[in-house]
Structure 1
Amino acid sequence: MKRIKKIAYSFCSFASQFVSNTFGTYVNYFYIDLMKLSPQLFRNGWILYSIWNAINDPLFGHFSDKTRTKWGRRIPYIAFSIIPLAICFALIWSPPFRVERGQTTQLFIYYLILVFLFDTFYTLIFLNTSALFPEMFTNLKERTEVAGYRNYLLFIGLIAGSALSPLVYTRIGWSGMGILYGTIFIIVMSISLWGSKEKKEFGVEKALPFTQALKCSLKNRSFITYVLASFKFILINNV
């Protein structure tokens, strides 16, 4: 594969950190401090979100493994989730409801629905871009090279999402930031999609039934430890 294609694919790492770090860093400040949603309601919603976040990775991973289309089993999920994620991200920062108007319940439901949808499309995209990595690059030399590109772009996305956002929302507002970042996300992920390619031989492999795959995962102590530690970290860090 040409180097330009490898770099293009690696832009998925920028996109993932760009939106997730902006979301993770500012969503609680936005809804609690600015939108005046009570911390208790926000926390309750975040706990539900954290549970969904823990469930959807193995669930969507199973669906992806079993998918068979002429475009592959990973790329369709990525391609058809880019614009919905960008829209959800923009809408998170543009709630039409206000606590001072007596619309606390509506604001909470709006916030809950959007963070669930955002995480759903986020998982569909980046679970599959991650699954593509070992399938696209099968030798150690290529994997090391592309991992370097991904780590570099991941760092840029992390910095852009956290450090630049205050400058952006101060200048154009939260709604403007959501629209701008959503547009950037679409452009960057389109570049990554252009650099992505599925190999047919991986699509021939038959996936394990979901229950059998779940049993195998639950028997893996390292996997269970990782999942519990990740869930606890997300919960504590955001609640």
Structure 2
Amino acid sequence: MSLKQRMLAYCACSLGFSLLNHVFFFYYVKVFLNYYKIEEGWFQFAQMLYLVWNMINDPLFAYIQDTTNFRLTKTRREAILYTAPLFSLSFILIWFPWAQGTWVTGLHLITALCLYDTFFTYIGLAFCCLFTEISSDPKVRLQLTQWSNIAGLLASFSVFICEFTSDSLKSFQAFQLTTVVIAVVAAIMMVYTGLYAHTEHDINIMQSDSSKEEVTHKKSSESSVWRLTWQILSERNFIAFVIVNFFQGFHRTFFSNFVAIIFDELIPDDVVSSSIRKMFYGSLNIVASVIVIFGVPLVQNIGYSKTIKWSFIWKIFAGIIMFMLGRQYIIIMMIYVLLDSAFSWAAFTFFVIPLSEIADHDMYKYKRSHPITSMVFGTNALIVKPAQSLCPMLTVAILNRYGYEEHKTGKLGLQGLDSLKDTMFLILCGYSCILGIIQYISWSKYVLKPQKSRELVISVPSQF
């Protein structure tokens, strides 16, 4: 297969994977809080178990994918091929309630989160590794980022479609039917990737004899998971990167889970109509993809590193300015959230490039015959993915402390409601400022540069 065909197969997975992910993280918190009426104790307990399972499954699946030769792990594409239908089924599970407001609702959330994350992690690792291993050429990787964001742009309409078919979840049966259709389409896209997304390593194996393949896998599994993980964690560039990525994941989770909840309170229906509100929620992910697609030429000129750095500068100053203006400027607040969310997602899109550089550098540094890309991405996820649980846990705890749970039952007075809205606005601005400062400082410690002629060029490292 040609390189372009393999790149298109990769983009099919980007489409399918993003279709599920956008809908899942945009709606699951709102559905369980407002429709299934889950108790806060069960919600926090489910998030804690989700966090623990996140920490366990990422390095476990990464090590399995890099060191075993089973049918499900033999190649990156086969890992996606055989598990894609199960991933779609785990996505459907969450939208069909088992009960409301009881321990069964808590059990439903625990089961849905853990099952979804199992296949999300397994397929996500293989998907990220495809990016690194389809080509080691930095220009091809940047082009692949652009192409996959075109697919991601199409996937971004999934939230937009759900908003209009369900009338912002007012017709829950229509929402359920829409999620089933999305799951089927996503499974088809990912199966296509599993059939045709061959990496450079796969092609080399297919051109060699079977004995060489066995030797390759044997060499890949000589080191233990602990030794490989320690080698990755001892790299200062990796530490600098995962700190940035952790808080980026925290911020993206906040936008996905809480923008609709907060804006439903901060923006009155008589100021912004329901149709405009639906378009706004649906456009949050669309704008990010558009920025990446048309911003790639700029990134090629100034470099992805400076692009990411400027996104942090924007995050800091935009949050400060919005806080100084106040929540009474509703249209400005909507523009602020739209841009802040878009820049956060757009910057995150380019994070796969430095992580691929770290994987390249690891192979070069330790003279490996086969890249341990899954271990690099898995160790990154081990540190980063707990942010997906910590963000909802922290934010829900803050909101309930200021009366959100009472507000849902109609027991919160006008004074308490005003205090709750102030808290929501403070969270909206405060997260951007605080996280942006931490990320800017940490990103300044990342010093790896793109490969040139198969060798890594590394600038003089500063003290971490």
The interval holding the TM-score normalised by the smaller chain is 0.7 to 0.9
Alignment partner, residue 97 of structure 2: 95
Distance 2:13 2:121 in 1: 13
Alignment partner, residue 276 of structure 2: none
Q: How does 1:126-141 map to 2 (within 5 A)?
A: 126-141=124-139
Distance 1:156 1:128 in 2: 22
Alignment partner, residue 86 of structure 1: 88
Judge conservation of contact 1:14–1:150 (CA < 8 Å) in 2: yes
Farther off after superposition, 219-228 or 118-127: 219-228
Q: Which amino acid aligns with 2:166?
A: Y
**Cα deviation digits, residues 16-40 of structure 1 (max 9, x gap):** 2221121111101111100111133
Alignment partner, residue 220 of structure 1: 235
Judge conservation of contact 1:67–1:73 (CA < 8 Å) in 2: no
**Cα deviation digits, residues 99-138 of structure 1 (max 9, x gap):** 3xxxx11221122012101110011112101112222223
Distance 2:13 2:146 in 1: 13
In the alignment, structure 1 residue 115 sits paired with structure 2 residue 113:
yes
Judge conservation of contact 2:76–2:127 (CA < 8 Å) in 1: yes
Aligned length in residues: 234
Q: Which amino acid aligns with 2:163?
A: P
Q: Secondary structure at the match of 1:80?
A: helix
Q: Which amino acid aligns with 1:36?
A: K
Taking structure 1 as the reference length, what is the TM-score of the superposition?
0.85
Distance 1:31 1:224 in 2: 35
Alignment partner, residue 7 of structure 1: 8
Alignment partner, residue 424 of structure 2: none
2:163 pairs, out of 162, 166, 179, with 166
Distance 1:15 1:60 in 2: 21
Q: How big is the shift at 1:65?
A: 0.1
Q: Secondary structure at the match of 1:81?
A: helix
TM-align CA RMSD: 2.5
Distance 2:141 2:152 in 1: 16
Distance 2:157 2:116 in 1: 19
Assess, with a 3 A threshold, how the Cα gap between structure 1 residues 194 and 75 changes in structure 2: closer, same or farther.
closer
Farther off after superposition, 88-97 or 166-175: 166-175
Alignment partner, residue 196 of structure 1: 197
Q: Secondary structure at the match of 2:228?
A: helix
Farther off after superposition, 7-16 or 191-200: 191-200
Judge conservation of contact 1:92–1:178 (CA < 8 Å) in 2: no
Distance 1:168 1:88 in 2: 22
Q: How big is the shift at 1:152?
A: 2.2
Distance 1:155 1:45 in 2: 31
Judge conservation of contact 1:74–1:128 (CA < 8 Å) in 2: yes
Judge conservation of contact 2:84–2:123 (CA < 8 Å) in 1: yes
Assess, with a 3 A threshold, how the Cα gap between structure 1 residues 69 and 235 changes in structure 2: closer, same or farther.
closer
In the alignment, structure 1 residue 152 sits paired with structure 2 residue 150:
yes
Alignment partner, residue 141 of structure 2: 143
Distance 1:56 1:12 in 2: 21
Assess, with a 3 A threshold, how the Cα gap between structure 1 residues 232 and 210 changes in structure 2: closer, same or farther.
closer
In the alignment, structure 1 residue 237 sits paired with structure 2 residue 391:
yes
Higher RCO (CA 8 Å, separation ≥ 6 residues): 1
**Cα deviation digits, residues 170-198 of structure 1 (max 9, x gap):** 46523213311211111221232233114
Alignment partner, residue 47 of structure 2: 46
Judge conservation of contact 2:55–2:386 (CA < 8 Å) in 1: no
Taking structure 2 as the reference length, what is the TM-score of the superposition?
0.46
Q: How big is the shift at 1:224?
A: 4.1
Bigger radius of gyration, 1 or 2?
A: 2
Farther off after superposition, 184-193 or 203-212: 203-212
Q: Which amino acid aligns with 1:48?
A: L
Judge conservation of contact 2:10–2:193 (CA < 8 Å) in 1: yes
Q: How big is the shift at 1:222?
A: 4.1
Judge conservation of contact 2:158–2:182 (CA < 8 Å) in 1: no
Q: Which amino acid aligns with 1:108?
A: G
Assess, with a 3 A threshold, how the Cα gap between structure 1 residues 98 and 235 changes in structure 2: closer, same or farther.
closer
Alignment partner, residue 225 of structure 2: 210
Q: Secondary structure at the match of 1:96?
A: coil
Judge conservation of contact 1:50–1:231 (CA < 8 Å) in 2: yes
Distance 1:234 1:117 in 2: 15
Judge conservation of contact 1:65–1:73 (CA < 8 Å) in 2: no
Assess, with a 3 A threshold, how the Cα gap between structure 1 residues 155 and 237 changes in structure 2: closer, same or farther.
farther
Distance 1:43 1:165 in 2: 27
Q: How big is the shift at 1:58?
A: 1.9
Alignment partner, residue 337 of structure 2: none
Q: Secondary structure at the match of 2:21?
A: helix
Judge conservation of contact 1:61–1:127 (CA < 8 Å) in 2: yes
Judge conservation of contact 1:90–1:181 (CA < 8 Å) in 2: no
